[in-house]
Amino acid sequence: MPEGLMQNIENEPSNSCLYHRIKLDYRYGLDKIYSIKDIEIAKQSPSFDREYDLKYLGKIGNLYSQLSIQNAIERGKNYDPDSINQLSEKYICIDPAFSSSKFAILVAEWLRSERVINIVYAEELDHPSYEEAVDHIFRLVKQLGNIKNIGVDGSNPELIVSLKKKIDERSDWKYIQEKVQLCRKRNLDIAQYMTVVPIVFNTENINFMSSHSKRLLDDSRGLISINSKFSKLITALKGAIFNEYRLDKEESPHNDLTDCYMMLNTFFKFKSSDDY
């Protein structure tokens, strides 16, 4: 697992670590214990990077298709996440944490004319202060431009209210709750009625988010592209373990980014099998 015992040992300073660490990836064994043909065959396995190339991936996940993830990575070669048009539509999703886990932020660009969702930012902040986290989010907002929605885990009303105040959106919590309940009752898209959107992780919503995010990733039209730069997100999706559509946080690497990915997909709906 990423950030597990082995990686912690690997990252210890050399003057305090009890172990002498030697890294031997598969390249040291080429034409010795492995032939090039052996390696080409082994590369077809989704566990290759973990078993042969010193990558921390955890277990192979059981919801998102490894092939679909790889196809999304291939499509990710078609854009540069460091050179994004400020006019394109952006969606930010946030899984906040200030002490117990990582503060995860995921940003996607929706290219409406091409019908493609490009991941343009995916990062985990390590135990930021509240002020640092809010400042970081709004640096991204300013840098990326044209933010359509900001999705936030609904269990953090303080952050939701703070972000709404920052963009001059109505921010009293009672009003927000009533608006969310009204939209749910009338089957309306809450993202059409507010910019900062609380996303609730109840059983019904989790089931929808996990299945819907899988469907978008698997879609044969190639809706989602992930640049290889975002290795933490890729590891998160490849290793995401679900039990009855609920993410197993203990077994899944970078699980906060997986939560963000599921939230992100709620902003994109299918109208029919061939229209979206």
Closest alpha carbon to 156 in 214, 101, 232: 101
Q: Domains of the chain: which residue ranges? A: 5-52, 66-265
Q: Which pLDDT band holds residue 150 (cuts at 50, 70, 90)?
A: very high
For residue 182 the two structure tokens come to 């009204």
- The predicted pLDDT at position 60 comes to 87
57 band by pLDDT with thresholds 50, 70 and 90: confident
The stretch 164-178 carries a mean pLDDT of: 95
Reading phi first (left if > 0) and then psi (alpha if -120 to 50, else beta), residue 115 is in left
Please give the structure tokens belonging to residue 83. 């050179």
Q: Kindly report the average pLDDT of the chain as a whole number.
A: 92
- Beta-carbon-side half-sphere exposure of residue 223 (alpha carbons within 13 Å): 16
Beta strand pairing call for 89-95 and 103-111: antiparallel
pLDDT at 200 over 80: yes
pLDDT at 253: 92
Nearest to 242 by CA among 100, 65, 95: 65
Which tokens hold the place of 255? Answer: 């699980």
pLDDT digits (tens, 9 = 90+) for 100-132: 668 999 999 999 989 999 999 999 998 888 999
For the domain bounded by 66-265, which CATH number is listed?
3.30.420.280
The reported pTM is 0.86
Task: Report the pLDDT value the prediction gives residue 204, as an integer from 0 to 100.
Answer: 85
The mean pLDDT value for 224-248 works out to 94
Quick count: other Cβ atoms within 10 Å of Cβ 186? 7
- Indicate the residue type of 68: S
